[in-house]
Amino acid sequence: MRATAERTPRDLSRGTERTVLRAAQRVVVKIGSSSLTRGGGALDPAAVAAVADALAARREAGTQVVLVSSGAIAAGITPLGLAARPRDLATQQAAASVGQGLLMAHYTRAFARHGLTVAQVLLTAEDVVRRGQYKNAQRALERLLALGVVPIVNENDAVATDEIRFGDNDRLAALVAHVVQADALVLLTDVDALYDGHPSLPTSSRIGVVSSAADLEGVTVTARGSGVGTGGMTTKVTAALTATGAGIPTLVAGATDVADALEGQDVGTWFQATGPRPRTRRLWLAHAAHAQGRLVLDEGAVRAITHGKRSLLAAGVTGVEGTFEAGDPVEIVDPDGTVVARGLVAYSSEELPERLGRTSEQLRELFGTGHDREVVNRDDLVVVRRRR
């Protein structure tokens, strides 16, 4: 088997047409709770079967597919006798724990009708932001695809706390698309496309193509969704921009149009790829890691990390905010408090203050050899805002 890192996606990212989807060797498809449920929020087995049928057809045509499926919390509503989607974290965890198994049972049956085996892959943001776990998730997904299995990914809701949650599966799908180096991402929802105003308004019309974020100026995108999903269109647009910024074209389309969407028909809203594919783990660092604290830098350090591609040294750090352990994700801010980078910090918030402003030589003298490491190593740092 080829190592994951060696997979070279076909250069489909420049394609402006939806036909990219038909030519894709590997796609990630995400389906939201609103498309998998019927009145009252209970799971709709027919909707599960419909998405399985469309993905199986794509598989038969030679495309590898990874499905990111929401619906665990929704599937837990009826068995637990709840009136609606729970709002508190503990009940959401309970509902997801009950519902995830039921959801997978439906998918297992639906894909088995096509002779396909499915695999459950549950991820938390924290699991995948650290190098070891990130590689682990990547290796598992790659192996499943090589074995001909359809991986079905969801957030590990039963153990994800508010602090470490992805929170919305649109973002999870964009990051998974990057991890498996997909040729395209498809976000399926209960509305047939992105509209320039709320789709319930008669004055709103469908947007066919978004070639860059600038096209979205003046477009009203709201977080008001179906009530069973989270984030409305806002999280889908953000996820589409994350994916396209990482070289992965993205289609937002109606779940009922899934077969046409995967065929490259003129449905939904097509977001063209805008950026090159960055090194994989950095995308997680930029978008998935929930920062536990902040490091304030002086101007020289800001320049060194944003333009000099250097590691962050204690000498350039002037302040520490928050409580964190060594290895936690932190925001790195300039003297005005603007976030310029994110990174995994090598010291805890307790250890850092006495090291601030000190050179590596001073650190060695004070704390001994081995205690002069960088505050954030370059490999664990991603610049999110470059200043002139």
Ligand X SMILES: Nc1ncnc2c1ncn2[C@@H]1O[C@H](COP(=O)(O)OP(=O)(O)O)[C@@H](O)[C@H]1O
Ligand Y SMILES: N[C@@H](CCC(=O)OP(=O)(O)O)C(=O)O
According to CB under 6 A, which one of 111, 134, 166, 195 is a site residue for ligand X? 195
From the list ligand X, ligand Y, none, partner contacted by residue 151 (C-beta under 5 to 8 A by kind): none
Q: Which of 79, 101, 199, 278 binds ligand X (CB under 6 A)?
A: 199
- Would you say 190 is a known binding-site residue? yes
Nearer to ligand Y, 168 or 257 (CB): 168
In the bound state with ligand Y, the residue whose beta carbon lies nearer, of 189 and 311, is 189
**Encoded tokens for 318:** 């002037």
Restricting to residues 42-71, name those near ligand Y by CB under 6 A: 70-71
Which of positions 91-150 make contact with ligand X (CB under 6 A)? none
The piece of 109-117, 139-147, 149-157, 197-205 that touches ligand Y (CB under 6 A) is 149-157
Kindly identify the residues of this chain, within the stretch 219-278, that bind ligand X according to CB under 6 A.
Answer: 220-222, 224-226, 229-233
Q: Which is nearer to ligand X, 35 or 92 (CB)?
A: 35
Q: Please, is 44 exposed, middle or buried when counting C-beta atoms within 10 Å of its C-beta (0-12, 13-18, 19+)?
A: middle
**What's the CA gap between 185 and 176, in Å, rounded?**
9
Neighbours of 124 (CB within 10 A): 20
Stretch that binds ligand X, among 32-40, 89-97, 172-180, 337-345 (CB under 6 A): 32-40
Among 4, 13, 35, 292, binds ligand X (CB under 6 A): 35
Cα four-point dihedral sign 120, 125, 126, 131:
positive
Of 127, 142, 168, 380, the residue at the interface with ligand Y (CB under 6 A) is 168
Residues near ligand X (CB under 6 A), total: 22
Applying CB under 6 A, which of residues 126, 142, 157, 374 lies at the interface with ligand Y? 157
To ligand X, the closest distance from the beta carbon of 187 in angstroms equals 8
The residue ranges of DSSP E strands in the chain, in sequence order, are 26-31, 37-38, 42-43, 64-69, 118-123, 150-155, 184-189, 209-210, 250-254, 269-271, 293-297, 317-322, 329-333, 339-344, 381-383
Q: What is the distance, to the nearest Å, from the Cα of residue 16 to the centroid of all Cα atoms in its chain?
A: 23
Establish whether 269 is an annotated binding residue. Answer: no
**Adjacent-strand bridge partners of 383:** 341
Residue whose C-alpha is closest to residue 33's, from 112, 100, 116: 100
CB of 85 to ligand Y, least distance (A): 8
Residue 225: alpha-carbon gap to chain centroid? 19
The C-alpha atoms of residue 136 and residue 288 are separated, in whole angstroms, by: 16
- Residue 96 touches ligand Y, criterion: CB under 6 A: yes
Cα–Cα distance between 111 and 115 in angstroms, integer? 7
Stretch that binds ligand X, among 30-38, 49-57, 75-83, 141-149 (CB under 6 A): 30-38
For 66, 191, 303, the CA distances from 266, given in Å and listed in that order, are 22, 15, 45
**Token pair for 231:** 């984030």
Half-sphere exposure (Cβ direction) of 330: Cα atoms closer than 13 Å: 29
Residue whose C-alpha is closest to residue 131's, from 5, 244, 247: 5
Q: For the segment 7-36, give every residue that binds ligand Y (CB under 6 A).
A: 32-34
* Contact positions vs ligand X (CB under 6 A): 32-35, 189-191, 194-195, 198-199, 220-222, 224-226, 229-233
Question: Residue positions in the annotated binding site for substrate?
Answer: 70, 157, 169
Question: Residue positions in the annotated binding site for ATP?
Answer: 30, 189-190, 230-236
* Contact positions vs ligand Y (CB under 6 A): 32-34, 70-74, 96, 154-155, 157, 168-169, 229-231
Question: Residue positions in the annotated binding site?
Answer: 30, 70, 157, 169, 189-190, 230-236
